[in-house]
Amino acid sequence: MRCLAVLFVLLLGATQLFGGSGLTFELPTLTVVGSTTAPTTTELAMSFADPDQLGLQTQGFTCGIALDLPTTITEAVPTGQLADLQFGSGPSFFSVVLALTGGSGITIGCVFTTHSPIQTIEFPAVAEPVVILTVQHPPLVTPAESTPLTLSSTLGTPTVLVGYVLGGMQLFPTAIDGELTVVAPQFVRGDSNGDGASDIGDAIFTLSFLFAGGDSARCADALDANDDGLVDVSDAVYTTNWLFLDGSSPAEPWPSCGSDPTADDLPCGLVDGCFP
């Protein structure tokens, strides 16, 4: 990291710091479906914007991204205009430190070009992804677990500031922090079409999905009406018997949203109305 600090001073002359400058650095707020049996890996983007369209010709940036353990960032790669630099070979210098002492997070340092012709990036008014972060969260122990995603100027040794370089000076952007929430799959067993009702439409949806190229299932676990860990014609038969022939009702989670108490390999996405 000392090399990174020296490189910025020597190459870009970043000797003055100013606040309230024009760029915005932004981390997303999002919810993803996790698992109680395996780690959850997801990708999210750190984005930059020039909301006032000042035409800022930026030359590089540094930042720290902090989050709560045990969530970790396992990779950070350039994307968009950053990846397109130098005919698609990316920036001349892109350094990521993933393992930080005393906390969870990463530091990033980037110089767009270190040789002639010098390339700069002018960012749009709307946030544009610059770096794709791969984030890993361990198996869930509660139905929902969250971690803040914070743009931090307190990480690293020496400390890496959140800033960008313009005309040989490092400036402070407006930082917009985010949050990652990982939730356990929530669904109602037997509600195949996800409309919140248990009726013949669910049996028809299952049969159409299996045999007629019907709509894909957002939650295969919901189609598993008989809870045998499979989705097949027996699930449509089970639903029909329950509705019209006094058969057994579906197993939990039913009739309200909940997590599957039995382990299986059926996937389930986030179901509307089943989780706030």
**Each residue's pLDDT tens digit, 221-249:** 899 999 998 999 999 999 999 999 989 99
Query: Is residue 197 domain-shared with residue 160, that is, in the same domain?
Result: no
Output the CA–CA distances (angstroms, integers) from residue 120 to 76, 80, 85, 116, 127, in the order listed: 21, 14, 9, 12, 17
Mean pLDDT of the chain: 87
Query: Is residue 61 domain-shared with residue 96, that is, in the same domain?
Result: yes
Query: Is residue 13 domain-shared with residue 149, that is, in the same domain?
Result: yes
Neighbours of 102 (CB within 10 A): 7
Query: Is residue 116 domain-shared with residue 240, that is, in the same domain?
Result: no
Q: Is the pLDDT of residue 3 over 90?
A: no
Per-residue pLDDT of 34-77, as tens digits, reads 887 789 999 999 999 999 999 999 999 999 999 998 899 999 99
Q: Is the dihedral of CA 43, 44, 46, 49 positive or negative?
A: positive
Report helix, strand and coil shares of the chain as percent, to nearest 5: 15, 35, 50
Structural domain including 126 reads 2-183
Q: Is the pLDDT of residue 140 over 70?
A: yes
- pLDDT given for residue 30 in this prediction: 93
Residue ending a domain, choose from 119, 149, 183: 183
Query: Is residue 172 domain-shared with residue 98, that is, in the same domain?
Result: yes
Query: Is residue 59 domain-shared with residue 153, that is, in the same domain?
Result: yes
Quote the number of domains for the chain.
Answer: 2
Query: Is residue 201 domain-shared with residue 162, that is, in the same domain?
Result: no
Query: Is residue 165 domain-shared with residue 253, that is, in the same domain?
Result: no
We report the CATH number of the domain holding residue 148 as 2.60.40.680
Cα–Cα nearest to 193, from 230, 231, 223, 161 = 223
Query: Is residue 89 domain-shared with residue 202, that is, in the same domain?
Result: no
Cα–Cα nearest to 112, from 158, 80, 134, 135 = 80
Query: Is residue 76 domain-shared with residue 173, that is, in the same domain?
Result: yes
Query: Is residue 160 domain-shared with residue 251, that is, in the same domain?
Result: no
We report the CATH number of the domain holding residue 251 as 1.10.1330
End-to-end CA distance of the chain: 41
- pLDDT given for residue 7 in this prediction: 46
Residue ending a domain, choose from 142, 164, 183: 183
Query: Is residue 29 domain-shared with residue 164, that is, in the same domain?
Result: yes
Residue ending a domain, choose from 131, 157, 183: 183
